[in-house]
Chains A and B, each alone.
Chain A
Amino acid sequence: MKVSVGDVVLPGDFSEEIAAVGEKSKVILGPGLRKEIDGIFITKAGTLKKRAPNTYWVDNYQKRYIPARGENVIGIVVQKAGDIFRVDVGGSCTASLSYLSFEGATKKNRPKVVNGDVVYAKMLVASKDMEPEIVCVDSHGKKGRLGVLEDGFVFKCSLNLIRKILNPECPLLNSLKNEWPFELAAGMNGRIWIKANTMRETIALGNAILGSEYLSNDEIKSMCTNIASILAGHIS
């Protein structure tokens, strides 16, 4: 079926709109779109979205992570194999993380990473036919926001929720950030790591994040004030 931007789309649908734009200017086809010889086809079920000038993608509900280059992910170290760590990132196979790709690591000075550690890393290589590779440093050799995540609590959620809470227009983090101190790392692979001072605060934060999946912006705001007042002890 022929579809246009904003429609609910199914695999096999095609968009003449995108094909027409592509004849004149450069077009970026995001996830869920595929170019064939005779047109642009949809490969995922969701809503077709567009961002100016010419970026199109399908926004779909998904829980399985498919590694993609450049994404920040949360992984769990499962094996030490010589000079690499095998890290479970939720993809079809484990990702490899070299021990040299930590800040300040040298052959003599190995980073202190053990099995079961949670790492926040960037996808460096992600291809269909190869094991993905992740790194904990940026191109300048600085760790920035990446590295081993100590303490805290990890939980899984859908890939949509990650994108929702990281959207600058989502009120969740804005309404929580002034309530109590906390730290958060969201991986594009559907894992969230949170850390707060007490267990009550950690649970409240986790519930707030998971609860916001199917709520509108106004509902998220009222939920956050509700949670904050419960935590502050106004309502038992």
Chain B
Amino acid sequence: MAGLTKKLQLPKSVLDMKFMKKTRERIEKELENTQDHGSLYSNIITNEMRSASGNFISESSFIFCETMLEGRLSFKGMNPEIERLMELENGVKTEEGSGEMVKDVSDDILAKKMEKFNKMKRPNPSPISDLTNTKKKK
């Protein structure tokens, strides 16, 4: 159980520094408190009780089960404030949907330009150098 509840802790070297005195004291206190709780109820709370819920999480609301729109909506300029919020939310959704950045230069144009650029750089690539290049890459 201790392994499950283990929190991220500051390294000891940092805690030993002078300005960390208060934090050190607080952490010690917390540790003491949790240990006390453990021993206080140890005869009542069994390990079975701790792990009784297993992998099951109970949820009393439908909002976490079904996908639903926000319940406050406005259309055709009835409430500009709400419509602005709706637009913001929709904007976020569409951006997430495409998963790509807006491009100034399309992929096709970039490929063509790069081809030209490579040709300019090496007008007559000798077959030997090509071979060595590919080998190096591999």
Question: Interface size for chain A: under 10, 10 to 19, 20 to 34, or 35 or more residues?
Answer: 35 or more
A25/B55 in contact, CB under 8 A? yes
Whether the pair A35, B53 counts as a contact (CB closer than 8 A) is yes
B14 vs chain A, min Cβ distance (A): 30
Closest chain A residue, CB of each to CB of B75: A177
In the assembled complex, how far is the CB of residue B51 from the closest CB belonging to chain A, in whole angstroms? 12
Option from A69, A72, A167, A196 in Cβ contact (under 8 Å) with B67: A167
In the complex, what's the smallest C-beta–C-beta distance from A193 to chain B, in angstroms? 9
Question: 25 A-B pairs, CB-CB below 8 angstroms?
Answer: A27-B55, A28-B56, A28-B64, A31-B59, A34-B58, A35-B56, A49-B65, A57-B62, A66-B60, A68-B60, A68-B63, A70-B64, A145-B72, A145-B85, A163-B68, A167-B67, A168-B68, A173-B69, A178-B76, A181-B78, A182-B76, A183-B78, A185-B71, A188-B62, A197-B78
Give how many B residues have a beta carbon under 8 Å from the other chain's beta carbons: 30
In the assembled complex, which residues on chain B have CB atoms less than 8 Å from the CB atom of A186?
71-72
| Interface check A104, CB cutoff 8 A | no
Number of cross-chain contacts by CB at 8 Å: 126
The reply to whether B57 and A29 form a contact with Cβ atoms under 8 Å apart is: yes
How does the 8 Å CB contact mask read for B57-100 relative to A, with 1 for contact and 0 for none? 11111111111111111111111001001000000000000000
The answer to whether B62 touches A31, judged by C-beta atoms less than 8 angstroms apart, is yes
**Does A211 have its Cβ within 8 Å of any Cβ on chain B?**
no
Whether A183 contacts B79 by the Cβ 8 Å rule is yes
Contact call A72/B76, Cβ cutoff below 8 A = no
> In the docked arrangement, what's the CA distance between A24 and B54, Å?
10
CA distance A57 to B66 in the complex (A): 9
- Whether A28 and B57, one on each chain, are in contact in the complex, defined by CB atoms closer than 8 angstroms, is yes
- The answer to whether A188 touches B63 (Cβ under 8 A) is yes
How near does chain A come to B119, taking the closest CB pair, in angstroms? 50
Q: B68's closest neighbor in chain A, by CB?
A: A166
Report whether over half of chain A's contact residues are helix, strand or loop; otherwise say mixed. mixed
In the complex, the answer to whether B72 meets A180 with C-beta atoms within 8 Å is no
Contact A70 B57 (CB under 8 A): no
Chain B proximity of A112: nearest CB distance (Å):
18
Please tell me if the beta carbons of B62 and A196 are within 8 angstroms of each other in the complex: no
- Name the distance in Å between A30's Cβ and chain B's nearest Cβ: 4
Which of A22, A177, A187 contacts B56, CB < 8 Å? Answer: A22
| A interface residues with partner B (beta carbon < 8 Å) | 22-31, 33-35, 37, 40, 49, 51, 55, 57, 66, 68-72, 120, 126, 144-146, 162-163, 166-168, 173, 176-178, 180-188, 195-197
- Which residue of chain A has the shortest Cβ distance to B82 in the bound complex? A145
B55, B64, B66, B72 — most chain A CB neighbours (10 Å): B72
In the bound complex, how far is the Cα of B64 from the Cα of A35, in angstroms? 18
Which residue from chain B places its CB closest to the CB of A126 in the assembled complex? B60
Q: How far, in Å, is B83 (CB) from chain A's closest CB?
A: 9
- A31 pairs with B61, CB closer than 8 A: yes
- With A26-B55, A182-B78, A196-B78 as contacts: A72 and B64 at CB distance below 8 Å: no
Instruction: Write the nearest CB–CB distance from B70 to chain A, whole angstroms.
Output: 6
